[in-house]
Amino acid sequence: GAGVSQSPSNKVTEKGKDVELRCDPISGHTALYWYRQRLGQGLEFLIYFQGNSAPDKSGLPSDRFSAERTGESVSTLTIQRTQQEDSAVYLCASSLLAGGTEQFFGPGTRLTVL
């Protein structure tokens, strides 16, 4: 009965390094979302997976960002050649069905790029 989990909870990296963030959705949830929360800002949509459909990547800010999801399980968000403006809290959410049902959020990964 666990909720959405994310790891690591905190990540400090140097500019130019690659980072990988992990999200474990609630079992059985078909939809998985990645959002970014920069200081003083709302949540920005990054990418969305729905079942076996092609992911909606329209929110990814650059080609340095990519994400994968295997079936309806774990997802990883990868940021290559990190920049200081990538510093943010990265939040993952999952839902049973898209369109009006509750999205359950994980605690987030706080990424700091030095």
Partner 1 sequence: AQSVTQLDSQVPVFEEAPVELRCNYSSSVSVYLFWYVQYPNQGLQLLLKYLSGSTLVKGINGFEAEFNKSQTSFHLRKPSVHISDTAEYFCAAQPPGNTPLVFGKGTRLSVIA
Q: Which residues bind partner 1 (CB under 8 A)?
A: 3-4, 31, 33, 35, 40-45, 48, 50, 53, 56, 59, 91, 93, 98-100, 102-103, 105-108
**Considering Cα of 12, then 74, then 49, then 33, what sign does the dihedral take?**
negative
> Which residue, 59 or 66, is less far from partner 1 as judged by CB?
59
Tokens 């992911």 sit on residue:
55
> Which residue, 64 or 110, is less far from partner 1 as judged by CB?
110
Contact 85, 77 (CB under 8 A): no
Q: Whole-angstrom Cα distance, residue 111 to residue 38?
A: 10
Minimum Å gap between C-beta 73 and partner 1 is 19
Phi-psi region of 59 (alpha: psi -120 to 50; beta: other; left: phi over 0): alpha
Minimum Å gap between C-beta 100 and partner 1 is 4
> Which residue, 21 or 82, is less far from partner 1 as judged by CB?
21
Minimum Å gap between C-beta 82 and partner 1 is 23
